[in-house]
């Protein structure tokens, strides 16, 4: 191979490397989410209530070392949080969220998205964070018009009175 | 594992052979992949400093300032921005190719485990550096990166509040976040640089920069790419909308779409498993290495040549311990020695002219000591016939020598051609063991043991001790470095060399033995 031909070939190899770099730096396009759908995202971090304290019996107290004989036994862990999300009357999400942390004393968390068709929807969110066995402590129902690719967020904050829709 | 390695080696050897026809050895990109990755990092640093002057932090300011670089100041800041991005991508490309090539060459086990393991750490740091950079542009791609990355981090499960909640709504993000990301995007590459320095700690004279010509050509190519295909922002981030179709940088974000299939936790697990496998590769299985080089103190005067020539910093000079009147002695660290024998080639006492009883070098491989080396050479010369006798000396890793051995060509195979003390060439020619010597092995610039070819060349040229004596006729020496796939080129070169060999004046007076059955290849195994 003569010199000019070699230079040309060298240029071509470098060009090929650059095309490879330039092409994969932006292509092929990736569909992150269907363009004709909307997203309802349920996201919150909320600590459930504490289980009831239990008054120790004299026998239980006697079994403990003298310096640990507190009359009340209040567990460190939190209760799980039950959450439900309905869309137009049908169930969309239902979960019993365990408390976080190594000792189960952290908040329960959820961060989950649902693709829904755009249009008018009735969304009902319910949450139970106490020790009750039926019913819910918080409930909110909203009817909204959801646009394609809209990111509708359902958050929960006790201070704000429960569910918040962004 | 061996099959995978051999398959990759075959693939690389073919591409290398193709590129060898186009590039001179010093410019061949595949022989400088690590240095090219380093070079990309330098471009990233310089261009990063430049664009930093134009960058503002803030949810609105970040996007606008980056956009401004590509519109109002496209001819300098825009080009620098593109260089910053493409050199980052180039770094990933060269790094991946470097990793695969080193794996194919079996340069990740044994003494090289440390370099391999630190390389795995570098991969993570490169990715984290790049991903934090994409975040700063705060366009749709940044939004994608922010949400997906925080979901990945949340999958670890150690944070009380999910980080992804910072990107729930437009109002949930504040300007301080960009200051944090900017800090990370500067701090992590600096840590990366430090780990890259550690990565090279067990190499003598590591190649940090590619040859100047290749570097200039590569920089010009990057500038051309920046001008032809400038890096641009996508639409501004809008947390109130879900991202639809986006352009993705597959070098950095290629694994993110997998989260759609296996979820963030699955992706995190997959990345963890890949990392563990990469880290464990040096012991899957461990390398069965020949014994490390040993120092024979009786013959070592602490001249330091082996210390300078060892490519892996396995030989150190330490204070004398045996009472002989020298200040230092050489000491081999077996954990760093790859048993290439280059130290023997550097030792001035490693000469075949020594008396048989004292055929011991100052430093040598226990399984291929100086006496064995001379025995191999003598064996290769046995029964050579004709007046154009050749002894070809090659290595375990380069061109195959098996097809060469015949009545006129004797073959010596060493762990590395750099192991050959130059005095052996003198020995072969002055003792009339052959009429010519061929030195061959790996491709030039691609020595399995990094410096074997360079040191061999320099010793013959007289540029490096121990050098070949002046009395040795250079026209009787052929140096050819055709690489793994160069059997035909080697055979042709030897044929031409034999044809051109001048008559050996001294040889005419010597009565040669008749041809006898002889081994095809004299090797050390």
Spans of all domains in chain A: 1-30, 38-52+79-165
Residue A94: exposure state from Cβ atoms within 10 A (0-12, 13-18, ≥19): exposed
In this predicted structure, what is the pLDDT of residue B122? 98
List, for residues A128-146, the tens digit of each pLDDT value: 998 888 999 999 999 999 9
d(CA B101, CA B110): 17
Of A32, A45, A106, the CB nearest to B165: A45
The percentage of chain B sitting over the pLDDT mark of 70, rounded to a whole number, equals: 95
Which residues of chain A are within 8 Å of residue B142 when distances are taken between CB atoms? none
- On whether any CB of chain B is under 8 Å from the CB of A155, the answer is yes
Residues B58 and B181: beta-carbon distance below 8 Å? no
In this predicted structure, what is the pLDDT of residue B504? 62
Nearby residues of B172 by Cβ (< 8 Å), 6 or more positions away: B165, B166, B239
3-state secondary structure of A102: coil
Is 70 exceeded by the pLDDT of residue B510? no
List, for residues B181-190, the tens digit of each pLDDT value: 999 999 999 9
Is 60 exceeded by the pLDDT of residue A18? yes
A interface test, pick of B28, B160, B244 with most A CB neighbours within 10 Å: B244
In this predicted structure, what is the pLDDT of residue B522? 62
Which H, E and C letters describe B431-472, residue by residue? Answer: CCCCCEEEECCCCCCCCCCCCHHHHHHHHHHCCCCCCCCCCC
Q: What is the dihedral of CA B19, B23, B26, B29, to 10 degrees?
A: -50
Task: Decide if B29 and A17 are in contact by the 8 Å CB cutoff.
Answer: yes
d(CA B409, CA B428): 13
Residues A119 and B172: beta-carbon distance below 8 Å? no
Angle at the Cα of B458 from the Cα atoms of B457 and B460, rounded to 5 degrees: 65
List, for residues B252-303, the tens digit of each pLDDT value: 999 999 999 999 999 999 999 999 999 999 999 888 889 999 999 999 999 9
Which segments of B105-139 does DSSP mark as H helices, in order?
113-137
List, for residues B296-339, the tens digit of each pLDDT value: 999 999 999 999 999 999 999 999 999 999 999 999 999 999 99
Pairing type for strands B328-332 and B315-319 reads antiparallel
Q: How confident is the model at residue B525 (pLDDT cuts 50, 70, 90)?
A: low
> Quick one: CATH architecture of A38-52+79-165?
Sandwich (2.60)
B244 CA: distance to closest CA in chain A (Å)? 5
Is 70 exceeded by the pLDDT of residue B104? yes
In this predicted structure, what is the pLDDT of residue B520? 52
Residues B405 and B452: beta-carbon distance below 8 Å? no
B89 CA: distance to closest CA in chain A (Å)? 6
d(CA B302, CA B327): 7
More confident of the two residues B122 and B356:
B122
| Average of per-residue pLDDT across B433-449 | 94
Which residues of chain B are within 8 Å of residue A24 when distances are taken between CB atoms? 89, 249-251
Is 90 exceeded by the pLDDT of residue B58? no
Which residues of chain B are within 8 Å of residue A101 when distances are taken between CB atoms? 160
| Average of per-residue pLDDT across B136-153 | 94
Is 80 exceeded by the pLDDT of residue B509? no
Is 90 exceeded by the pLDDT of residue B389? yes
Of B164, B169, B229, the CB nearest to A22: B229
Is 70 exceeded by the pLDDT of residue A69? yes
In this predicted structure, what is the pLDDT of residue B508? 43
Mean model confidence pLDDT for chain B: 92
In this predicted structure, what is the pLDDT of residue B165? 87
- On whether any CB of chain A is under 8 Å from the CB of B245, the answer is yes
A interface test, pick of B16, B18, B19, B22 with most A CB neighbours within 10 Å: B22
In this predicted structure, what is the pLDDT of residue B404? 80
Task: Decide if B221 and A14 are in contact by the 8 Å CB cutoff.
Answer: yes
Which residues of chain B are within 8 Å of residue A20 when distances are taken between CB atoms? 93
Pairing type for strands B477-479 and B436-439 reads parallel
Tokens of B515: 């041809």
Residues B340 and B419: beta-carbon distance below 8 Å? yes
Of B165, B244, B246, the CB nearest to A111: B165
Task: Decide if A22 and B22 are in contact by the 8 Å CB cutoff.
Answer: no
B interface test, pick of A17, A108, A144 with most B CB neighbours within 10 Å: A17
Task: Decide if A27 and B247 are in contact by the 8 Å CB cutoff.
Answer: yes
Q: What is the dihedral of CA B436, B438, B439, B444, to 10 degrees?
A: 130
Of B334, B341, B504, residue with least CA distance to B431? B504
Delimit the CATH 1.20.810.10 region(s) of chain B. 41-283
Chains A, B: CB contacts under 8 A, how many?
120
Which segments of B205-304 does DSSP mark as H helices, in order?
212-228, 250-253, 258-280
In this predicted structure, what is the pLDDT of residue B483? 87
DSSP B481-520: ---TT-HHHHHHHHHHHHHHPPP-HHHHTSPPPPP----S
- On whether any CB of chain A is under 8 Å from the CB of B86, the answer is yes
Task: Decide if A32 and B165 are in contact by the 8 Å CB cutoff.
Answer: no
Most confident of A97-111, B102-116, B348-362: B102-116
More confident of the two residues A88 and B356:
A88
- On whether any CB of chain A is under 8 Å from the CB of B154, the answer is yes
User: Residue B364 is inside which H or E element, if any?
Assistant: strand B363-364
In this predicted structure, what is the pLDDT of residue B516? 52
Of B154, B224, B247, the CB nearest to A18: B224
Is 50 exceeded by the pLDDT of residue B507? no
Residues B116 and B275: beta-carbon distance below 8 Å? no
In this predicted structure, what is the pLDDT of residue B524? 63
Is 90 exceeded by the pLDDT of residue A33? yes
Report the residue of chain B nearest A102, measured CA to CA: B158
What are the backbone angles phi and psi of residue B57, rounded to the nearest 5°?
-90, 150
At the top level of CATH, the class of B41-283 is mainly alpha
Is 80 exceeded by the pLDDT of residue B356? no
Task: Decide if A10 and B229 are in contact by the 8 Å CB cutoff.
Answer: no
DSSP B403: T
């Amino acid at each position: 191979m003569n010199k000019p031909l070699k230079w040309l070939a060298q240029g071509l190899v470098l060009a090929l490397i650059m095309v490879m770099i330039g092409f994969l730096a932006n292509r092929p396009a990736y569909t992150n989410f269907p363009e004709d759908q909307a997203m309802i995202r349920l996201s919150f971090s909320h600590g459930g209530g504490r289980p009831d304290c239990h008054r120790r019996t004299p026998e239980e107290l006697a079994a403990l070392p003298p310096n640990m004989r507190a009359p009340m036994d209040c567990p460190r862990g939190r209760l799980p949080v039950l959450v439900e999300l309905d869309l137009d009357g049908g169930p969309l999400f239902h979960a019993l969220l365990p408390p976080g942390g190594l000792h189960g004393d952290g908040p329960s968390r959820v961060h989950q998205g649902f693709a829904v068709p755009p249009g008018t929807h009735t969304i009902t969110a319910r949450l139970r964070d106490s020790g009750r066995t039926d019913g819910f402590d918080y409930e909110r129902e909203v009817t909204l018009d959801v646009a394609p690719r809209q990111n509708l967020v359902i958050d929960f904050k006790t201070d704000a009175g429960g569910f918040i829709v962004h | 594992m061996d099959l995978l390695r051999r398959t990759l080696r075959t693939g690389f050897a073919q591409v290398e052979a193709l590129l060898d026809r186009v590039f001179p050895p010093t410019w061949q990109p595949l022989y400088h992949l690590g240095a090219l990755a380093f070079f990309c990092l330098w471009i990233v640093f310089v261009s990063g400093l430049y664009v930093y002057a134009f960058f503002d932090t803030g949810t609105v300011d970040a996007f606008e300032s980056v956009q401004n670089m590509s519109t109002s100041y496209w001819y300098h800041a825009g080009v620098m921005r593109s260089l910053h991005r493409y050199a980052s991508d180039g770094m990933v490309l060269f790094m991946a190719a470097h990793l695969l090539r080193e794996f194919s060459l079996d340069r990740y086990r044994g003494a090289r485990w440390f370099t391999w393991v630190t390389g795995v750490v570098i991969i993570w740091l490169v990715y984290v550096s790049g991903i934090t950079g994409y975040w700063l542009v705060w366009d749709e791609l940044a939004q994608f990166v922010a949400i997906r990355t925080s979901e990945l981090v949340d999958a670890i499960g150690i944070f009380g509040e999910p980080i992804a909640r910072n990107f729930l709504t437009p109002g949930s993000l504040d300007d301080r976040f960009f200051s944090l990301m900017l800090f990370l995007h500067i701090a992590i590459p600096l840590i990366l640089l430090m780990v890259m320095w550690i990565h090279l700690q067990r190499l003598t004279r590591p190649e940090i920069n590619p040859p100047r010509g290749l570097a200039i050509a590569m920089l010009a190519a990057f500038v051309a790419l920046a001008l032809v295909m400038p890096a641009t922002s996508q639409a501004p981030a809008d947390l109130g909308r879900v991202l639809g179709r986006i352009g993705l940088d597959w070098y950095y974000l290629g694994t993110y779409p997998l989260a759609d299939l296996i979820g963030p936790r699955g992706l995190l697990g997959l990345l963890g498993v890949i990392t563990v496998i990469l880290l464990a590769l040096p012991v899957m299985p461990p390398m069965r290495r020949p014994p490390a080089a040993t120092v024979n103190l009786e013959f070592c005067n602490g001249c330091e040549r082996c210390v300078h020539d060892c490519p892996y910093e396995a030989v150190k000079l330490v204070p004398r311990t045996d009472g002989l009147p020298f200040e230092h002695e050489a000491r081999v660290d077996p954990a760093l020695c790859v048993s290439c024998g280059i130290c023997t080639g550097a030792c001035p006492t490693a000469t075949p002219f020594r008396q048989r009883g004292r055929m011991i070098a100052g430093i040598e491989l226990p399984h291929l000591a100086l006496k064995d080396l001379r025995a191999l050479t003598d064996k290769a010369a046995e029964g050579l016939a004709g007046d154009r006798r050749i002894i070809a000396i090659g290595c375990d890793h380069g061109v195959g020598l098996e097809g060469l051995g015949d009545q006129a060509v004797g073959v010596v195979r060493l762990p590395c051609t750099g192991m050959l003390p130059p005095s052996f060439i003198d020995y072969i020619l002055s003792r009339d063991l052959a009429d010519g010597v061929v030195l061959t092995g790996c491709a030039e610039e691609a020595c399995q043991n990094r410096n074997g070819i360079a040191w061999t060349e320099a010793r013959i040229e007289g540029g490096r001790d121990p050098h070949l004596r002046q009395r040795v006729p250079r026209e009787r020496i052929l140096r050819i470095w055709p690489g793994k796939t160069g059997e035909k080129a080697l055979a042709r070169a030897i044929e031409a060399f034999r044809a051109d060999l001048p008559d050996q004046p001294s040889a005419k007076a010597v009565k040669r033995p008749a041809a006898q059955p002889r081994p095809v290849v004299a090797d050390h195994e």
